[in-house]
Amino acid sequence: RHALTRRLIAMIDLTDLSDSSSPADVERLCSRAMEHRVAAVCVWPEHVRRAGRQLDGSNVRIATVVNFPAGDDRAFDCSVIADRVIADGADEVDLVLPYRAVSAGDHERASAVLDAVRAVVPAERHLKVILETGELGNSALVGRAARLAIDHGADFVKTSTGKTSVSATPEAVTAMAHEVVSASRPIGIKPSGGIRTLEDAAALLHAVEAVLGVGWATPASFRLGASSLLDALLAE
């Protein structure tokens, strides 16, 4: 149990995307991230530069969000923000897929957003695409959304914004894992939202590794987007 807990801590994207997130909150977040050696922090775009100054010299990566949380911004607007956060030092861009368009069968609009952002995110930086799986609903649609994201340059597929009633579930990550296993290049998976306990995190890890193999998940291939999970794991 201790080994599992340590393994999970190393895969956390320690997140503060609250509406009230302040510079002081971000500084505390970064301090905790360095102390406990999590994989990354995830902050609002306006905090990327500040996080970069504090995390300089550490192994903690900086993630931020684009088209968040609604997924309704235009491709051009998404690319402008993505370009700015890359310039500010973001290592990873978590982009919300236009999931309503995907649900309606409008893959052209969704593809335009993906392509516009991928064009400004360099190959050495990660593009993590948020599918909003709870809103997509069924596993077949989750799988199609994951495939679309992968085909248009995603390095990771991510379940959720954490701003909807249903976030990460084992069923969603299983559907995503089936698309990852058939991809022609390595793709990571990031469950996010509603992951609050060791049991929550372990269930998601197990669901992924049931498809991709025990030991597949590392901080390079599997992340857990969470704000309170670290506290629960440290309590273990």
Q: What are 131-188's pLDDT values in tens digits?
A: 999 999 999 999 999 999 999 999 999 999 999 999 999 999 999 999 999 999 999 9
Widest Cα–Cα separation across the chain: 47
- pLDDT given for residue 112 in this prediction: 98
- Residue 119: band (very low, low, confident or very high) from pLDDT cuts 50, 70, 90: very high
- pLDDT given for residue 228 in this prediction: 96
Spatial CA neighbour of 129 closest among 105, 81, 161, 85:
161
The answer to whether residues 59 and 51 touch, using CB atoms and an 8 Å cutoff, is: no
Known catalytic membership, residue 163: no
Per this entry, what is the length of the chain? 236
Going from the C-alpha of 42 to that of each of 70, 130, 156, the distances in angstroms are: 17, 13, 14
- pLDDT given for residue 136 in this prediction: 97
- Tell me 192's DSSP state: B
- pLDDT given for residue 4 in this prediction: 98
The answer to whether residues 16 and 29 touch, using CB atoms and an 8 Å cutoff, is: yes
Known catalytic membership, residue 115: no
- State percent of the chain over pLDDT 70: 100
Known catalytic membership, residue 190: yes
Catalytic residue among 94, 128, 155, 200: 94
Kind of pairing, strands 92-96 and 61-66? parallel
Catalytic residue among 13, 73, 91, 158: 158
Going from the C-alpha of 4 to that of each of 154, 191, 218, the distances in angstroms are: 28, 17, 12
Mean local confidence (pLDDT), 23-52? 98
Catalytic residue among 91, 155, 190, 200: 190
The answer to whether residues 47 and 67 touch, using CB atoms and an 8 Å cutoff, is: no
